[in-house]
Structure 1
């Protein structure tokens, strides 16, 4: 569980990032969760964009992805989800 200070720090780190995944009409599936998990292992902090044609609510999408990938939801802003998961092999981000 992230503290508010850690979330603020991660939000500032994520500000310049571009979303690397898009959730659309197909919604959240096992393949998407696997790819997000792999990306989090490599980068630790990523953005996911929820497209307008997605049938699910953005909060549900964030919950499903974070639960499936064992990640933390840092922020939901507009249709963008910011996710964080500490890397086991190559830790890059040092939390305050």
Structure 2
């Protein structure tokens, strides 16, 4: 899905207070990491991923992870990437990206 710059900025600012849920280690992007990101996106929608190794290849690994998991890459900053996938069920949604607000 394509996001506007305002939507990306909203998701990026919402992710600032999050701790990394998925860690990518020396093995790089594996099926287990992609599944962990998928599961985390199902639970949280907005997921922060931390790269502990291959720090010079963060953007490339983030694109690989996006393709492998089907979760949208929002932004990479330093050794961290932010991913988002909106929940299919309306009652499980935490972020309204059309209104740029958090649903309580």
Contact 2:34 2:68 (C-alpha < 8 Å) held by counterparts: yes
Q: How does 1:1-40 map to 2 (within 5 A)?
A: 1-40=2-41
Paired with 2:15 and 2:55, the residues of 1 have a C-alpha distance of 26
**Residue in 1 that maps onto 2:69:** 69
Higher relative contact order (CA 8 A, sep 6+): 1
Runs (5+) with no aligned partner, structure 1: none
Offset, 1:18: 0.9
Q: Is 1:41 the counterpart of 2:65 in the alignment?
A: no
Contact 1:27 1:56 (C-alpha < 8 Å) held by counterparts: no
TM-score, with length taken from structure 1: 0.90
Paired with 2:14 and 2:55, the residues of 1 have a C-alpha distance of 30
Q: How many equivalent pairs are there?
A: 95
Paired with 2:13 and 2:46, the residues of 1 have a C-alpha distance of 11
Moved over 3 A (4+): none
Offset, 1:88: 1.6
Contact 1:27 1:55 (C-alpha < 8 Å) held by counterparts: no
Runs (5+) with no aligned partner, structure 2: 100-104
